[in-house]
Structure 1
Amino acid sequence: MLHHAPLLMTMAVGLVLAFILGFGAQKLRLSPIVGYLAAGLMIGESTPGWVGDTDVAYELSEIGVILLMFGVGLHFSIKDLLAVKKVALPGAILQMTVATALGTGVGLWLDWSLGAALLFGLALSVASTVVMLRGLEDKQLLDTRAGHIAVGWLIVEDLAMVIALVVIPVLAAGDGGPGAIAGELAWTIVRVGIFVALMLVVGKRVIPWALAKVADTGSRELFTLSILAIAMGVAVGAAYLFEVSFALGAFFAGMIMRESDLSHRAAEDSLPLRDTFSVLFFVSVGMLVDWRVVIEAPLALLVTTLVIVVGKSAVAFALVRALRYSRRMSLVVAAALAQIGEFSFILVTLGGDLEILSQNAQDLVLGAAILSIIINPILFAWASRWYRDGAGEAESDETADAVVTYEGAEHVILVGFGRVGTRAAMHLWQADVPTVVIDDDENKVKALREDGREAILGSAVRSKVLRAAGLDVATTVVIAIPDPLNAGAITAKIKRMAPAVRVITRGHNDTDVAYLTELGADRVIVGVHEVADLMATDVLTEPEDAS
Structure 2
Amino acid sequence: MHPETALLFTIAGAFGAAFLFGFAASKLKMPPLVGYLLAGIALGPHSPGFVGNVELASQLAEIGVILLMFGVGLHFSPGDLLKVRRIALPGATLQMFTAIGLGYWLASSWGWTPAASLVFGLSLSVASTVVVLRVLEDRGLMDSIDGRVAVGWLVVEDLLVVLALVLLPAILSALGAGAAGASPMGRTELITSVALTLVKMVAFIVLMGVVGRRAVPWLLTHVARSGSRELFTLAVLAVSLGVAVGAATLFGVSFALGAFVAGVVISESDLSHRAGADALPMQDAFAVLFFVSVGMLLDPGVLLTQPMKVLATVAIVLLGNTVVATVLMVLLRHPLGASLRIGASFGQIGEFSFILAGLGVSLGVLSEEGRSLILAAALCTIVLNPMLFATLDRLSTWIARHPRLLDRMERQKAPRMAHTDLFETITVGHAILIGYGRVGRTIGDALQRQGVPFVAIEQDRRVVDAMRTIGVSSIYGDATRPGILEHAYPGTARLLVIAAPDPYHARHIIDMVRAKNPTIDIVVRTHSDQEQAMFEQLGVSKALMGERELAFGMAYHSLRSLGVDDDQADGIVEELRGGGRMQTREFSALMPTDLRM
Asked if the contact 2:103–2:120 (Cα under 8 Å) also holds between the matched residues in 1, the reply is yes
Q: Partner residue of 2:41?
A: 41
Q: Partner residue of 1:296?
A: 305
Residues 78-97 of structure 1 deviation map (CA, whole Å, 9 limit, x = unaligned)? 11111111111111111111
- Among 460, 463, 469, the alignment partner of 2:546 is 469
Matches within 5 A, 1:84-99: 84-99=84-99
Structure 1 counterpart SS, 2:227: coil
**Residues in 1 aligned to 2:232 and 2:163: alpha-carbon distance in whole angstroms:** 31
Equivalent residue letter for 1:119? V
- Among 409, 413, 417, the alignment partner of 2:438 is 417
Equivalent residue letter for 1:475? G
Matches within 5 A, 1:26-105: 26-105=26-105
Matches within 5 A, 1:481-500: none
State the shift of 1:397 in Å: 7.2
Q: Partner residue of 1:526?
A: none
Asked if the contact 2:125–2:320 (Cα under 8 Å) also holds between the matched residues in 1, the reply is no
- Among 328, 338, 346, the alignment partner of 1:319 is 328
**Residues in 1 aligned to 2:267 and 2:450: alpha-carbon distance in whole angstroms:** 38
The worse-fitting range, judged by mean Cα deviation, of 300-309 and 135-144 is 135-144
Q: Partner residue of 1:457?
A: 500
Asked if the contact 2:526–2:546 (Cα under 8 Å) also holds between the matched residues in 1, the reply is no
Matches within 5 A, 1:515-534: none
Instruction: Give yes or no for the alignment of 1:161 onto 2:158.
Output: no
Residues 258-292 of structure 1 deviation map (CA, whole Å, 9 limit, x = unaligned)? 01101111111111111111111000000100011
Instruction: Give yes or no for the alignment of 1:269 onto 2:269.
Output: no
Q: Partner residue of 1:511?
A: none
Equivalent residue letter for 2:307? P
Shift of the 102–389 alpha-carbon distance from structure 1 to 2, 3 Å rule, reads: closer
Residues 145-194 of structure 1 deviation map (CA, whole Å, 9 limit, x = unaligned)? 22222221111111100100111111122243322222121111111111
Structure 2 counterpart SS, 1:475: helix
Asked if the contact 2:104–2:120 (Cα under 8 Å) also holds between the matched residues in 1, the reply is yes
Equivalent residue letter for 1:340? I
Of the two, which has the highest radius of gyration?
Answer: 2
**Residues in 2 aligned to 1:245 and 1:102: alpha-carbon distance in whole angstroms:** 26
**Residues in 2 aligned to 1:168 and 1:313: alpha-carbon distance in whole angstroms:** 25
Equivalent residue letter for 2:90? P
Shift of the 313–470 alpha-carbon distance from structure 1 to 2, 3 Å rule, reads: closer
Matches within 5 A, 1:165-244: 165-174=165-174, 175=176, 176-244=185-253
**Residues in 1 aligned to 2:172 and 2:81: alpha-carbon distance in whole angstroms:** 31
Q: Partner residue of 1:328?
A: 337
Asked if the contact 1:127–1:337 (Cα under 8 Å) also holds between the matched residues in 2, the reply is yes
**Residues in 1 aligned to 2:220 and 2:445: alpha-carbon distance in whole angstroms:** 38
**Residues in 2 aligned to 1:470 and 1:81: alpha-carbon distance in whole angstroms:** 28
**Residues in 1 aligned to 2:216 and 2:196: alpha-carbon distance in whole angstroms:** 27
Structure 2 counterpart SS, 1:5: helix
Give the TM-score, by structure 1 length. 0.76
Structure 1 counterpart SS, 2:334: coil
Structure 2 counterpart SS, 1:112: coil
Asked if the contact 2:361–2:367 (Cα under 8 Å) also holds between the matched residues in 1, the reply is yes
**Residues in 2 aligned to 1:87 and 1:291: alpha-carbon distance in whole angstroms:** 38
Shift of the 149–292 alpha-carbon distance from structure 1 to 2, 3 Å rule, reads: same
Asked if the contact 1:2–1:9 (Cα under 8 Å) also holds between the matched residues in 2, the reply is no
State the shift of 1:244 in Å: 0.6
The worse-fitting range, judged by mean Cα deviation, of 15-24 and 381-390 is 381-390
Q: Partner residue of 1:515?
A: none
Shift of the 386–83 alpha-carbon distance from structure 1 to 2, 3 Å rule, reads: farther
In the comparison of the two structures, how many residue pairs are matched?
457
**Residues in 2 aligned to 1:36 and 1:156: alpha-carbon distance in whole angstroms:** 27
Q: Which runs of 5+ in 1 are unaligned?
A: 399-414, 433-438, 478-497, 502-547
Shift of the 386–132 alpha-carbon distance from structure 1 to 2, 3 Å rule, reads: same
Structure 1 counterpart SS, 2:140: coil
Equivalent residue letter for 2:332? L
Residues 318-356 of structure 1 deviation map (CA, whole Å, 9 limit, x = unaligned)? 111111222102201210111000000000000000000
Q: Partner residue of 2:261?
A: 252
Shift of the 461–241 alpha-carbon distance from structure 1 to 2, 3 Å rule, reads: farther
Instruction: Give yes or no for the alignment of 1:371 onto 2:380.
Output: yes
State the shift of 1:389 in Å: 8.2
Q: Partner residue of 1:360?
A: 369
How high is the sequence identity, in percent, across the aligned residues? 45
Shift of the 198–470 alpha-carbon distance from structure 1 to 2, 3 Å rule, reads: closer
The worse-fitting range, judged by mean Cα deviation, of 423-432 and 246-255 is 423-432
Asked if the contact 1:67–1:278 (Cα under 8 Å) also holds between the matched residues in 2, the reply is yes
Equivalent residue letter for 1:417? R
State the shift of 1:111 in Å: 0.8
RMSD of aligned alpha carbons: 3.5
Residues 359-388 of structure 1 deviation map (CA, whole Å, 9 limit, x = unaligned)? 000000000010000010111223345567
**Residues in 2 aligned to 1:292 and 1:186: alpha-carbon distance in whole angstroms:** 42
Asked if the contact 1:228–1:270 (Cα under 8 Å) also holds between the matched residues in 2, the reply is yes
State the shift of 1:463 in Å: 5.8
**Residues in 2 aligned to 1:384 and 1:81: alpha-carbon distance in whole angstroms:** 26
Shift of the 227–427 alpha-carbon distance from structure 1 to 2, 3 Å rule, reads: farther
Structure 1 counterpart SS, 2:124: helix
State the shift of 1:133 in Å: 1.1
Asked if the contact 1:139–1:381 (Cα under 8 Å) also holds between the matched residues in 2, the reply is no
**Residues in 2 aligned to 1:397 and 1:151: alpha-carbon distance in whole angstroms:** 26
Shift of the 165–38 alpha-carbon distance from structure 1 to 2, 3 Å rule, reads: same
Shift of the 142–461 alpha-carbon distance from structure 1 to 2, 3 Å rule, reads: same
Q: Partner residue of 2:514?
A: none
Q: Partner residue of 1:136?
A: 136
Instruction: Give yes or no for the alignment of 1:341 onto 2:350.
Output: yes
**Residues in 1 aligned to 2:232 and 2:438: alpha-carbon distance in whole angstroms:** 33
Asked if the contact 2:99–2:125 (Cα under 8 Å) also holds between the matched residues in 1, the reply is yes
Equivalent residue letter for 2:262? A
**Residues in 2 aligned to 1:43 and 1:233: alpha-carbon distance in whole angstroms:** 31
The worse-fitting range, judged by mean Cα deviation, of 180-189 and 232-241 is 180-189
Q: Partner residue of 1:123?
A: 123
**Residues in 1 aligned to 2:317 and 2:294: alpha-carbon distance in whole angstroms:** 19
Equivalent residue letter for 2:245? V
Residues 3-33 of structure 1 deviation map (CA, whole Å, 9 limit, x = unaligned)? 5211111111111111110111111111111
**Residues in 2 aligned to 1:119 and 1:333: alpha-carbon distance in whole angstroms:** 25
Asked if the contact 2:18–2:39 (Cα under 8 Å) also holds between the matched residues in 1, the reply is yes
Q: Which runs of 5+ in 2 are unaligned?
A: 177-184, 407-413, 417-435, 452-457, 468-472, 480-487, 503-524, 533-543, 556-580, 585-597
Asked if the contact 2:95–2:320 (Cα under 8 Å) also holds between the matched residues in 1, the reply is no
The worse-fitting range, judged by mean Cα deviation, of 460-469 and 1-10 is 460-469
Asked if the contact 1:171–1:181 (Cα under 8 Å) also holds between the matched residues in 2, the reply is yes
State the shift of 1:2 in Å: 6.0
Give the TM-score, by structure 2 length. 0.70
